[in-house]
Each structure stands twice: as C-alpha cells, then as structure tokens.
Structure 1
C-alpha cells in the first residue's frame, strides 16, 4: 500500500499528548500550592500599595515600607521553592527504579480517579482512569510522559490495542465527482530505523510499530513480529522490514501518529523493552507543500532512538498493488514511488538481488484500476493497481 499525489494527475495527481516533565520530589504538589498562595499574597500586597497611596497620601510612607519588605520576603521564598522544583538528575536511575516510578504514577492517577468518583465527578474519574493506562516514566522522555494517544473521543473506553477495521479500496467503485467524498492529504511511511541503540549491534528486534490516523485512531500495523520471529538489525543504517500500512493513511487537520512497542532479545533469550512511545506527524493545517522532501521524526525512549521517515502527499489517492507470478519464478524486489517523490517504497523483496530492472509508469486515478503483464526472464507477473480516494471520515 502506498500513496500517490492526485494533484499531479490534474496536469496529466500539548496538549495532553505532548511529553510532560517530571517536576521533582513527591512533595512537588504541596510546593506548587504554596507557591500559588505566595503569588496571590504578592498580588494583594501590590494592590494594597496602590490603595494606600490613593487614600493615605504622604502618611502611607511607613505602611508602604512594610509592604515593600513583605514583597521582598515573598519573592525570596518563591525563588527558594522554585529551586526545589528543578528537575532531578535521572541519569543514575535503573530500570527497576523506572518501572517503580511508572507504577507510582499509574497508582496516583487511579487514586485521583477514586477521589473524583467519591465527589460525584464521574467524567473526571473516567478520564483519570483512561490516562492511568498510558501514563509512563522514562529518563529519555525527561520523566513522566504518555506512551500512547490520548486525543480520542473517550479515553476511558478507547482500546489502544484494537486494530483498525477500515481497509483499502473504500471508494474504488464510487464516482469521484460524488460530493459525499472528501479527498485529503496522506502520508507514506518510508522507513523506520533504529538510529541509536544502547545495546551493541547486531540486535534481534521484535514487537510492533503502528500508525494511527484521523479515520479512527486505531492500530494500522507497519511492523509486527513476535519473539520467535525477530528481525536481525546489524547497524543503524538498516530499516525495519515494514509490512504495512494496509490502507492509505488520512492526514487531515489534526495529526497522525506512529507508535512503537519494540523489544530486543539477547543471546541468552532474555527480553528487554527497547522502545515504547509515540511521535506526532502534524496535520495539513501545519504543513507546507512547496517542497516534496521526506521528513524525519525521532523518538528516544528506553534503550534506543527510533527515526520515522515519511513524506506528505497533498490531495492524495490510494494505490493498492497486487502482483501474481503466473509463470516461472521471480527473485528480486518490487518497489514503487510517487511522481513528486522518487524515494522508493519496497512492496516486495525476495532478498535475492537481480541484475535487471523493469519499470512501468501508471497515471494516478480517483478510482478504478489498471492491470498489466510483466515478463522478467522466465517469469511472467500479472500486476494490478487499484485506486481509491483517501477520505478522512468513516
């Protein structure tokens, strides 16, 4: 599955999810409340100064001196408390420490949910319970952060592991003039690489990488392997072998996301969490389409930094490619690229290189499809390309 630029064809196609900082020792909340009180007292003192000069005139000098002294004392106390709230040095934190802190944060959220429930605030209680499922702690994230998406309609009922039921070719048989369709931008995920590893290469990687788009924000798998089928990564130049997405990813006014839950298995068979978190790809409201250059977003968590490289296609159409070897055997790779970006997307790779390269240009369409036959040596391959609009709505 890859995305073509439909505009070329016309010529001839923190919020809550942002990472959050750990603010210091357990008494940080109490310090915050004291600092808020100090701010209010400081403002009251300033108001008293104005009132005194207005009503008492020259007789207010002594009173103003006391107020000035009071303000200075408040300022010193505020600065002292602010220094206590500086982020701690987390560099010596062990994995056990990290896991314990993550569990403490989850329990804290659940405790807050119980308090809100006792107060009759069921909406707030359910939101806290939903956040408790995805709140996490990681030194590389600066402390507390969310490891999955939270900008969903109801975080309490949202299943973060559910696969999107929406498939490809939704509008293949619908006339493109149909006003019920809303064509939008899309993204092609070009590669997912382990840019940096705290464990020496080579490494055996398994787990999942999923995309979440504005159609339903459910899992669209890009990479999925269990610990019996790890991928061997020998260097940071190698990409994970992506097997998705299964459909075009709609990029509308919000944002799309790529989420990792990767593990490594050592030679003794022990498993460690390698990457867990989520990166944001901004929607069309924040995109500039003058250039067609790939962009890379990075996610530093656990034992690695993962780079996700993608490009945005404006006014996109979805191309679903099916290939069948009808005669002989085929060894080699099949790739595709869009008109605007020549960065090739691997559709199939037998991991056996060939010495010949054959290419076919196909003009993008709103719907319908193309079918053609390739002859490569002794092999005959029937290739079918099916087109569909990319609509952000269900």
Structure 2
C-alpha cells in the first residue's frame, strides 16, 4: 500500500481526532486520576480497619492453658471498633415507675409483659486447685441488641440470647523464704456463658428453672443457674432497719419458691447509716447484695425474713411478706420480727 501512496499504519498513528476537545480530554484524565486516588484511599482505609479489628480481636482472644488453645473471653461477633465492650447500659431500674400514663396491669396477660431472667447462682462445679477457694471477680450480662453491659441495677430482658462474661480470679497467699506473705492473684475462670432463648417457651405463664452449659476454663468449671420467667415485671426492693440486726432476706415469685434470690445476709454485708438520706435518726439502710429482680406478673413477690433472737439458744424466727405485682408505682410496708422493725419499699416498673 505504501508504494501506491496510501502510506502505512505509522503514518496515521500521530494524527489527532477530527473533533478533538483538549478540555474534555483533560477533564477525563483528571477524573481517572481522582478515581485512582479514591481507590487507593479506600484500600488504605480498609487495611487500617482490618488491622484495628485484628488488634481488638487479639485483646479478647486469649490462651487458655487448660485447653492448650486460644479462646474468646468476651463477645467476638460485634465490631470492636464501633462498639465499646466496656460501655455500661444507661437504662437503670424503675424506668417506668412514675409513668402515670400506664393503665393498670392485666395480670393474666398484658402486652407490656416481657420475658426475663433471674440469675440464681454462679456455682463452682469443679476446681483444679481443690477447696476451699477465695474467689473474686465479675460476671456481667448483655441482654439486648446493643449488647451494652448490664450492671446489678436492673432486670435482664430476654429478646434473644443473653451472654454472660465471666472473669473470676483466685486469691492465694504464699509465704516466701524470708517469711513474708505475698498475695498472688491467678485467673480462675474466664470466658463466655450463653443463655439461649430459642429453646425457651414464649407464653406469659411459662417458667423454667435450669442451668446454662458450664464454662470449663483456666482452673475451674463454672455453672450459672437461672429462672426464666415468661411474663414478668421488674421489682426494685429497698429495706431500712430501725437498728442493725442479724437477718437474712430472700425473694422469689410465689409459684417458684425454689428459685429464691438472697437479697441480704447480715453475716456477709454491712449495713450503713441512712439518717442523712431522709430516714429517721438511727435508721440504717440495708446494703442489699441484689435489689432488682423479675417477678412473674401472675404471682406474688414473696420476701422471706429470717432473724436471730439473740438469746442463749440462738432461736431464729421467720416470716413471709407478699406484694402484688404492678406495672408502675411503689408501695411500702413496715414489718416487725423478733423485735426488729424493717421498712420495706417495692417499686414496680415495666421493662
């Protein structure tokens, strides 16, 4: 073709388009460059995100010498970047106690009733270091979609699984060669216990008392027992004593007396003066170990008071006090047992 004057391909390669727009070409180039910059920026952000996620995961993925592998000790299926594992729930007890717009409770069935869970006990099923053991630590619960921590200030609402993060330590005293006693803390139990609500009945009349699958970790096996209540309201209990006294106070729903919760044991918890908090002079506010629980709406809240007479024979006296569940409001009752006067206040709230 070149011999006929048509020229080769190289002859046309440097020709510009007939309608070449230099400004449009420059804009196309800038857009392509911006797309490349955005791609690189997203790749860098994704890399930083993955590194942060890996670092957060490594904090809750710990080596368990009992099993010889790494296990999760806290919630792992939520983003540790967007979600703070140490954030506590802003929702306290009695959140609807003063809600005067609430109609009276229909105890046989009410749409405001919720499934709830009372933790009855955390039991040490087995110990690799024998007994007795001095254990301290935390067992915290996450009970809703946000999975924020639930302190001992409100009842546990069951809408899905409830996760308990267990972190118990063993306090040991060791005597060194020079005779000094050193306190050594060792990890006794650490990990997750899950309460699965899918297998639970959903009726407002249903009650199940049972135990979660035990947590076998570190130096022990720990089991959590519970009372699942299908239709419940929240009860918050406050107790004031006229004088300090040896007493035990427990609480339960009337239909499940075996699922009692120890609210107060004078041999383990000290009472503190409450005269400055609006009580009469000499009144003592009882520092309850537990003050908030779920109560079956169709039952009665039964408080059992056991007091020591203080005589030579160490006689004990027992009495029961019942409160009818409500959807809101509070009620107070003064009780006398064995010469001891107690003022009991129960505040009710929907979840």
Q: TM-score, normalised by structure 2?
A: 0.64
Q: Deviation of residue 293 (structure 1)?
A: 2.5
Q: Deviation of residue 163 (structure 1)?
A: 3.0
2:157 is aligned, of 250, 268, 271, to 250
1:295-330 superposed Cα distances (whole Å, 9 cap, x missing partner): 3431111111111101111121110000101x3332
Please state whether the residue corresponding to 1:292 is helix, strand or coil.
strand
Distance in 2, matches of 1:117 and 1:202, equals 55
Q: Look up the match of 1:138.
A: 64
Is the Cα contact below 8 Å between 2:207 and 2:228 reproduced in 1?
Answer: no
- Of structures 1 and 2, the one scoring higher in RCO (CA 8 A, sep 6+) is 1
Is the Cα contact below 8 Å between 1:130 and 1:157 reproduced in 2?
Answer: no
Distance in 1, matches of 2:45 and 2:153, equals 45
1:188 is aligned, of 115, 118, 143, to 118
- Root mean square deviation of aligned Cα: 2.5
1:361 is aligned, of 296, 308, 322, to 322
Q: Deviation of residue 196 (structure 1)?
A: 0.8
Is the Cα contact below 8 Å between 1:297 and 1:309 reproduced in 2?
Answer: no
1:336-367 superposed Cα distances (whole Å, 9 cap, x missing partner): 00133212100001128631111111111111
Is the Cα contact below 8 Å between 1:263 and 1:273 reproduced in 2?
Answer: yes
More helix by share: 1
Is the Cα contact below 8 Å between 1:329 and 1:378 reproduced in 2?
Answer: no
Is the Cα contact below 8 Å between 1:162 and 1:219 reproduced in 2?
Answer: yes
1:280 is aligned, of 194, 205, 212, to 194
Is the Cα contact below 8 Å between 1:367 and 1:387 reproduced in 2?
Answer: yes
Q: How many residues align?
A: 246
Compared with structure 1, are the counterparts of its residues 183 and 121 closer, same or farther at alpha carbon in structure 2 (3 Å cutoff)? farther
Distance in 2, matches of 1:140 and 1:339, equals 42
1:237-280 superposed Cα distances (whole Å, 9 cap, x missing partner): xxxxxxxx21111110x211111111112121122111110111
Q: Look up the match of 2:260.
A: 344
Compared with structure 1, are the counterparts of its residues 172 and 119 closer, same or farther at alpha carbon in structure 2 (3 Å cutoff)? closer
Compared with structure 1, are the counterparts of its residues 117 and 312 closer, same or farther at alpha carbon in structure 2 (3 Å cutoff)? farther
Larger Rg: 2
Is the Cα contact below 8 Å between 2:211 and 2:223 reproduced in 1?
Answer: no
Compared with structure 1, are the counterparts of its residues 121 and 347 closer, same or farther at alpha carbon in structure 2 (3 Å cutoff)? same
Distance in 2, matches of 1:156 and 1:141, equals 29
Q: Deviation of residue 210 (structure 1)?
A: 1.2
- Report 1:366-385 matches (<5 A): 366-385=327-346
**1:129 pairs with 2:68:** no
Distance in 1, matches of 2:249 and 2:75, equals 33
Q: Look up the match of 2:90.
A: 165
Please state whether the residue corresponding to 1:310 is helix, strand or coil.
strand
- Report 1:1-394 matches (<5 A): 118=44, 120-121=46-47, 123-140=49-66, 143-152=69-78, 154-174=79-99, 175-177=101-103, 183-214=113-144, 216-221=146-151, 245-252=152-159, 254-268=160-174, 269-283=183-197, 285-288=198-201, 290=206, 292-325=208-241, 327-342=242-257, 343-351=259-267, 354=308, 355-390=316-351
Compared with structure 1, are the counterparts of its residues 311 and 341 closer, same or farther at alpha carbon in structure 2 (3 Å cutoff)? same
Compared with structure 1, are the counterparts of its residues 119 and 381 closer, same or farther at alpha carbon in structure 2 (3 Å cutoff)? closer
1:181-212 superposed Cα distances (whole Å, 9 cap, x missing partner): 95421100000111111112122112212122
Distance in 2, matches of 1:270 and 1:206, equals 13
Q: TM-score, normalised by structure 1?
A: 0.57
Distance in 1, matches of 2:87 and 2:243, equals 40
More strand by share: 2
Compared with structure 1, are the counterparts of its residues 349 and 137 closer, same or farther at alpha carbon in structure 2 (3 Å cutoff)? same
Compared with structure 1, are the counterparts of its residues 141 and 338 closer, same or farther at alpha carbon in structure 2 (3 Å cutoff)? farther
Unaligned runs of 5+ in 2: 1-41, 105-110, 175-182, 269-306, 309-315
